[in-house]
Structure 1
Amino acid sequence: MNANASPFASFWMGGYEGADHVNAAGHEHDMVAATGHDGRLDADYRAARRLGIRCVRESIGWRLTERPDGSFDFSRVMRMALAARRQNVQILWSLMHYGVPADLTLLDDALIPRFARFAGEVARTLAPLCPGPRVYTPINEISFLSWAASATSDMGPAGLCGPAESNDSRISGYLVKQRLVKAALAGMAAIRAADPEARFLHVEPVLHVAPGDGTDPDQCALARSITSYQWQTFDMLAGRTDPGLGGHPEALDWLGLNHYHSSQWEVPSEKRLPWHLRDPRRQPLSSLLGEVWRRYRRPMILAETGHIGVGRAAWLHEIAGEARRAREAGVPLQGVCLYPLLDRPDWNDATRWHRSGLWHLQKPDSRCLNRPFARALLSWRDSPQRSQGDRAGLLVLLPCAWEDWRAPREALLQTLPHGRPLRVLEPPRQAASGPLLRSHALSPAAELLVLHGRDGGGWAAAPTQEQLALVREALRQAGRERWVCWLAGWRGDAHPDWWRELQGDGLILQPCPITPPRGDVLHAARGRLPPLWPEPSPGRRAAPHSYEGEEIAALLRNVPAPRLWLSAPHPVDGQRVRALASATPMQHLVIDASPPADALPWPPNVHWLGPVHDSLHAALAAQVDRVAPWGGPQGWAAPNATVRTDVEDTPPALQAAVRVVMAMARPTGTRAAL
């Protein structure tokens, strides 16, 4: 038997939140019960399997299982095992998910033999119920638990009663870490004695810390020191450090790495490096996984990852792209676990729910699939490899940041590639150093190329030869030598010459509607697109209990009916808004943009929502009476020029526009000189 062969039933996995600690307020957590999962085991496993998730992480919960008299209640664990078997789903078992029995703390000497006894009983209970090999995580996230118990009050009476919410990452919790590593090793021995086939998955965060000031040597040293804390647990388990704890190389069986948007931050401020703003100091996940592989040479999975709100689908695309990049570089990554599968309540405020699941929970006994998140998962499940062939790629040059592009982005990503790679290049972003290019997966076939550097700040100047060289290398790595260049929203005052460096197999021009380009670019274009996209369809009505429905209901809470949604152009013409408000005094105008600077107060029937994410547009259309589309450079169409709010996805006009783009992008047999 190959010890490194994957023991997992599927590459895509999911985890059910199982924290069971007692918090600082004395609240005894049981996340499996709080999410209603314990009463819906068969239904939850079946729903996950239908999406291709045939391997899930579950927490047994030491605190919840050991009774005061020292006996164990494994009734819930047995129900999980039997339900998983009925649904043909594999469970990866976490034995301790932060909580300990009430008479123990994380520094008690008695914790080690007590945990070993518990672990042995778990293995004896599950061995006859679960097909082998069974996979166990003795203690979930030793590094995080040690830090939280030492630097904060989150772990309540079991911790060291640190200051509440200090969030000081200079504290590693080393004493707690030593005790938990020794307990994990003792637990492994007990499990192996009861179940010789058992495999072990040690789950720890993988992270990056940057100095707030990269020129300050003290901050740089501090960042390196804190980053190194992530290796302490694995090094102890392997016997590389503190060999007296009993660690040995064979203890590192499989590695599970956890990574979220908050897993990268700066010191000494402790501010997170914003993922949604594409902070160039963030390190690609593939690079972090590569570092783990070079250090330990052990097979691994991404054991926890996920995001919140409207960012869930985009985060999955990014993580899936990085996972593919890591595998292509030789990292033995054998799985990605979406965590949590179900929305969950906050650890310190049970009334506040984290909208981070693949399923939205309006209440614990309800489930509503987050469709953008699910579509992203299915796109990668069904298309894990890069597109192959000799068809020319499509390179889109944007006039603005990807997030600000007024186009039906999700629909375009779903329909544009057609077996060819798609790369999107936005204007350079200002950074303290550079130049640097980061690639961010937008779909299995599409990536966003973001240039960072001192010469950033848009297309105010033509990109330097050094920046263009970075772009050429990114295109080369995409596996195509021929590219069709699409100038999206190209302005008359844009630099009309540098695009020739990337033109390749031809040029598609989509002019800016306000200041269209002139000169050579008009003659060079193989074809042209209308300056404005067809208005996106509102799509199907979102269920009122869905995440999208709840978000829009909150946005419109103070907007009376009847509501008219003015699908906002960019930039917004304030005078046009006032004219429409005056012409329709009985209509409440809802605008998905921030208000332009204006000294005068806005009419009472004008309501600015701020930018609304694409994934919420269908829900917005479902909760208004009419939608007025943007009609061109002069402003909105007449108030009676509205569209229905119950039409199907992807309107014919958009489908026609996509067909035009793809027809223009057909390869001509000419090789690009990149």
Structure 2
Amino acid sequence: MISFMFATGIENSVPTIQNGRHRVDELEKCGFYKHWRKDFDLVQEQGIHFLRYGPPIHTTWLGDGHYDWSFADETFNDLKRRDIVPIVDLCHFGVPDWVGDFQNPDFPKLFERYAGDFAARFPWVQLYTPVNEMFICATFSARWGWWNEQLSSDPAFVTALKHIVKANILAMYAILEIRPDALFIQSESSEYFHPESPDAIGAADAFNEQRFLSLDLNYGYDVSGRMMEFLRDCGMTLDEYKFFRTKNLRHHCIMGNDYYITNEHLVHADGRTDPSGEIFGYHTITAEYFQRYRLPVMHTETNLCDGSRGEAVTWLNKEWANVLRIKRSGVPVVGFTWYSLIDQVDWDSALRENRGNVNPLGLYDLDRNIRPVGRAYKKLIADWSNLVDAQTVCLTIPVFSPSEQEEPLIIREQAKARSNRIALSKLSLSALKEPAIAESSRKLPQEAI
């Protein structure tokens, strides 16, 4: 078992743009298909044992129950050989063409089978992010009109969100059938909206409630009356809401919080938003999320462009200081991630434009040369690993490396997890039904959303 996870990631976003005419494949743009063995070498060179990575969904998942596992077999078998623990991103901002987009009501059940079949093929994998950044995926696809379905309305946003979160939950159930001790790290953007003026307070308050919706649904957290009205007005039925209330798997979850300098927003009186830059920072915003959900926390994404004044190194040190501060305040923080390993491409336009602009955000550049932030992160890991493990000796995570999978202790732990799953299933079947959610719950103060 381990106490703290230092990680990085392979950027595997695959949204479609231009009304579906073009798919953005970050694995292709960043040269991963050609250099993946070298990239895994670099992970080990950094002293990193945890890697956020997933197979390209659009070329792996060919149809319902039909797959091309060839590239996944190569890469995951090599990770296993190297004893690197993958945190598997199964769906990162896009779906295959045959699925369509996140408005498709069949997506959750289809994705459930994909996740289960992946777990059956790679039963040694224990850590998953079934759907990455659910709130951002729904926002960029169905509220801001940037990706995939490219819609711009609240009903489209809620439709995408409920399908995405349901897919995430069903995937967790399917994976647990194969790997009962699996753990799920919800990599989700931690946001905050600041009112520019008194006239913007109402809109900012609404946005600050909506930012929690993906995790509220995923963890079965009771939404406020105003958010219930918002969801109902945008087409969510009471039965759909009850699914999220009763089918969550929060006891298998680590809350992943992503934080970038763009995560805080300035809200204008007319409801428009602009980036505000860092005002509160990771510590303050993550503390709000922890107070709401009371789950172990992992800082699952951060980066900043490498500049002539060492901006990326400064940002790394600032984010690590925030992690230490929130950890010392009593929040169980179990990991930290610089995302990603290699520079990214076209994220300066949020992948909306296919320009080939290289964004110097990685620990290494696209020629696989280490950046200053790569050297700083390697030193940070070497300097802090033993201390953060010692500080959390009573908080260990039941995560096992590939080389440990056949040890008697791990086999016993998996058997215990399987027995616990069976007991919980029987308890769920025998438990009294939850009271119905009354229609009167919609009779709420008429506040603007």
Matching residue of 1:81: 76
Residue identity in the other structure for 1:35: C
Residue identity in the other structure for 1:136: Y
SS at match of 1:91: strand
Aligned-residue Cα RMSD (Å) equals: 2.4
SS at match of 1:309: coil
Query: What is the TM-score with the length of structure 1 in the denominator?
Result: 0.50
Matching residue of 2:106: 110
Of residues 216, 232, 237 in structure 2, which corresponds to 1:235?
216
- Cα separation, 2, equivalents of 1:135 and 1:143: 21
Matching residue of 2:9: 15
Of residues 256, 274, 289 in structure 2, which corresponds to 1:271?
274
- Cα separation, 2, equivalents of 1:220 and 1:384: 41
Alignment check: 8 A CA contact 1:18 1:30 kept: yes
- Cα separation, 1, equivalents of 2:90 and 2:249: 22
Matching residue of 2:318: 318
- Cα separation, 1, equivalents of 2:28 and 2:150: 27
Of residues 138, 142, 145 in structure 2, which corresponds to 1:146?
138
SS at match of 1:324: helix
Matching residue of 2:287: 290
Alignment check: 8 A CA contact 2:255 2:295 kept: yes
> Which has the larger Rg?
1
Residue identity in the other structure for 1:299: P
Shift of the alpha carbon at 1:84? 1.2
Matching residue of 1:649: none
Residues 359, 46 of structure 1: CA spacing in aligned structure 2 closer, same or farther, 3 A cutoff? same
Shift of the alpha carbon at 1:31? 1.6
Shift of the alpha carbon at 1:251? 5.7
Shift of the alpha carbon at 1:68? 4.7
SS at match of 1:204: strand
- Cα separation, 2, equivalents of 1:172 and 1:52: 43
Matching residue of 2:121: 125
- Cα separation, 1, equivalents of 2:361 and 2:250: 35
After TM superposition, the structure 1 = structure 2 runs for residues 433-452 of structure 1, keeping only pairs within 5 Å, are none
Residue identity in the other structure for 1:53: I
Residues 247, 234 of structure 1: CA spacing in aligned structure 2 closer, same or farther, 3 A cutoff? farther
1:582-611: per-residue Cα shift (whole Å, max 9, x none)?
xxxxxxxxxxxxxxxxxxxxxxxxxxxxxx
Shift of the alpha carbon at 1:64? 2.4
Alignment check: 8 A CA contact 2:183 2:252 kept: no
- Cα separation, 1, equivalents of 2:48 and 2:104: 39
Alignment check: 8 A CA contact 1:46 1:87 kept: no
Shift of the alpha carbon at 1:350? 3.7
Query: What is the TM-score with the length of structure 2 in the denominator?
Result: 0.74
Of residues 100, 109, 127 in structure 1, which corresponds to 2:95?
100
**Unaligned segments of structure 1, at least 5 residues:** 164-169, 276-281, 388-674
Matching residue of 1:337: 337
After TM superposition, the structure 1 = structure 2 runs for residues 317-396 of structure 1, keeping only pairs within 5 Å, are 317-346=317-346, 347=351, 348-361=353-366, 366-370=367-371, 372-384=372-384
Residue 161, structure 1, aligned to residue 151, structure 2: yes
Alignment check: 8 A CA contact 2:218 2:248 kept: yes
Shifted more, 176-185 versus 345-354: the winner is 345-354
Residue 178, structure 1, aligned to residue 162, structure 2: yes
1:510-566: per-residue Cα shift (whole Å, max 9, x none)?
xxxxxxxxxxxxxxxxxxxxxxxxxxxxxxxxxxxxxxxxxxxxxxxxxxxxxxxxx
- Cα separation, 1, equivalents of 2:313 and 2:167: 38
Alignment check: 8 A CA contact 2:79 2:86 kept: yes
- Cα separation, 2, equivalents of 1:345 and 1:325: 32
- Cα separation, 2, equivalents of 1:337 and 1:81: 20
Counting matched residue pairs gives 355
Residues 320, 109 of structure 1: CA spacing in aligned structure 2 closer, same or farther, 3 A cutoff? same
Residues 378, 195 of structure 1: CA spacing in aligned structure 2 closer, same or farther, 3 A cutoff? closer
Residue identity in the other structure for 2:146: D
Alignment check: 8 A CA contact 2:10 2:52 kept: yes
1:84-110: per-residue Cα shift (whole Å, max 9, x none)?
123221110011112112132212221
After TM superposition, the structure 1 = structure 2 runs for residues 624-663 of structure 1, keeping only pairs within 5 Å, are none
Alignment check: 8 A CA contact 2:13 2:93 kept: yes
**Unaligned segments of structure 2, at least 5 residues:** 223-240, 388-449
SS at match of 2:66: coil
SS at match of 1:220: helix
- Cα separation, 1, equivalents of 2:127 and 2:64: 28
SS at match of 2:256: strand
Matching residue of 2:179: 195
SS at match of 2:17: coil
SS at match of 2:212: helix
Alignment check: 8 A CA contact 2:364 2:374 kept: no
Residues 212, 122 of structure 1: CA spacing in aligned structure 2 closer, same or farther, 3 A cutoff? same
Residue identity in the other structure for 1:340: S
SS at match of 2:257: strand
Residues 295, 252 of structure 1: CA spacing in aligned structure 2 closer, same or farther, 3 A cutoff? farther
Of residues 301, 306, 310 in structure 1, which corresponds to 2:303?
306
SS at match of 1:261: coil
Matching residue of 2:243: 244
Shift of the alpha carbon at 1:144? 0.4
Matching residue of 1:33: 28
Alignment check: 8 A CA contact 2:116 2:174 kept: yes
1:651-671: per-residue Cα shift (whole Å, max 9, x none)?
xxxxxxxxxxxxxxxxxxxxx
- Cα separation, 1, equivalents of 2:257 and 2:209: 15
- Cα separation, 2, equivalents of 1:207 and 1:335: 19
Shift of the alpha carbon at 1:332? 0.9
Shifted more, 286-295 versus 316-325: the winner is 286-295
Relative contact order, CA 8 A, sep 6+: which one is greater? 2
